[in-house]
Amino acid sequence: MHKVYPHTPLRNPATYKLLYHAQERLRTRSFPGVKAKGPTNFVQDNLNAAKYFGRPDTSGLEFWGTENITFLLDTNRHVIRTIYEPSFALHTMPEEDDESELVKTAKAEIKSAITKAKTHVIKGIWGDLAKDLVALGDNYRELGNLYNSASRINRPDQLEEKLIEIADYEDKVTTGSWKVEDYNTDVSNINSMADKAIKKFE
């Protein structure tokens, strides 16, 4: 796929019409997916997903496309002047917003900093989680011991006392399990937020 330049999405892609030359190329050239979808759906689907590839000159025409096809568009008249196979080498003018090496380096450093901060926070959560898992394991063991003890009690008054202890540890186990779920949710949310932040610098 050709180099993609930052650009707002193509406006009103459904309004673009194929000119004769584009129609002939679509009929005579090989484009991946056109047979399966049919020419009309193939063109529309790829226009909807098209990314900006640059300008061939100062005429106002623009290259847009996907990994399946490249369009030469007249964005003022909303027509497709012609189309090219994905392997066709494009010659485009320099873009004013083409990223400099300084910008690329800055983005890479920001993404690295986000990743490091995410890892630092998650490692702290893992430390707390480890302590609570140990406590949860202890409570589970004690609960097992209480159940085992209760199974051997015959006196109703003693069994009632033991059931009160069991209920207390069941509450501890339930609370501990909820805390573990909360830790996992926190980690998932932090990963999601970090990924979204990183994507803004791609």
Indicate if 108 and 157 belong to the same structural domain. yes
Burial of 63 (0-12, 13-18, 19+ CB in 10 A): buried
Indicate if 45 and 134 belong to the same structural domain. no
The model's pLDDT over 5-51, given as tens digits with 9 standing for 90+, comes to 888 899 999 999 999 999 999 988 888 888 889 999 999 999 999 99
Give the CATH number, domain containing residue 48: 3.30.2310
Total tally of structural domains belonging to the chain: 2
Task: Let me know the angle formed at the C-alpha of 15 by 11 and 18, rounded to the nearest 5 degrees.
Answer: 115
Indicate if 27 and 54 belong to the same structural domain. yes
Indicate if 58 and 148 belong to the same structural domain. no
Residue 90 lies in a domain: no
Residue 89 lies in a domain: no
Chosen domain end from 53, 84, 115: 84
Indicate if 192 and 108 belong to the same structural domain. yes
Q: Which range of residues forms the domain containing residue 154?
A: 101-199
Residue 5 lies in a domain: no
Residue 149 lies in a domain: yes
Indicate if 144 and 182 belong to the same structural domain. yes
Name the pairing type of β-strands 79-84 and 17-18: parallel
The model's pLDDT over 141-179, given as tens digits with 9 standing for 90+, comes to 999 999 999 898 988 888 888 899 999 999 999 999 999
Distance, in Å, from the CA atom of 108 to the CA atom of 201, rounded to the nearest integer, reads 8
The predicted structure's pLDDT at residue 5 = 80
Distance, in Å, from the CA atom of 2 to the CA atom of 86, rounded to the nearest integer, reads 8
Indicate if 113 and 180 belong to the same structural domain. yes
Indicate if 53 and 105 belong to the same structural domain. no
Indicate if 18 and 71 belong to the same structural domain. yes
The model's pLDDT over 86-142, given as tens digits with 9 standing for 90+, comes to 888 777 766 655 556 666 778 888 889 999 999 999 999 999 999 999 999 999 999
Closest CA to 189 of 122, 114, 107, 100: 122
54 and 17 Cβ atoms separated by less than 8 Å: no
Position 122, amino acid:
I
Residue 96 lies in a domain: no
Task: Tell me the H-state helices in the chain.
Answer: 20-28, 34-37, 39-48, 101-150, 156-199
Indicate if 76 and 121 belong to the same structural domain. no
Indicate if 79 and 44 belong to the same structural domain. yes
Take residue 90 and report the two structure tokens written for it: 């494009």
Q: How far is CA 199 from the centre of its chain?
A: 8
